[in-house]
Amino acid sequence: MSRNPLLAKIHIARKELAIPEEQYRALLVRITGQNSASVLRDAQLQAVLDEFRRFGWAPANTFKRSDKKHVRLVFALWTELGRLGAVDATRPALRAFVERQAGVADPEFLTAQEAYKVTEALKSWIERTKRAA
């Protein structure tokens, strides 16, 4: 049995919008004439998602590469240090480094100013590693 990604998005959106069961069923009937999303066609599912977007819901794209250039630079420099053999280039190790440098739990949460501090430290570390080699 194949799962419909639109159906999954509807359930995620409903949960994130905290829509009670009764209101959810009423919304389905109002938009599609059906009281269960499991019987809806793709066009109807899309109409329900469009309504959720109208309510302010936006799907989170958790697997998307960061749009923040300063965060991508931190990851790139960390990867370079790993390639040079200076660090264990894993995400937990990077998180620990960022926590020590900027007091932020994850690189994704760095502001541009905090990322600057981290990137300068990483650049210095890369230069020291290259000189030592």
d(CA 32, CA 72): 43
Burial (Cβ within 10 Å: 0-12, 13-18, ≥19) of residue 57:
middle
| pLDDT tens figures, 56-111 | 888 775 445 556 888 899 999 999 999 999 998 898 999 999 999 999 998 989 98
Q: Tell which wins on pLDDT, 65 or 11.
A: 11
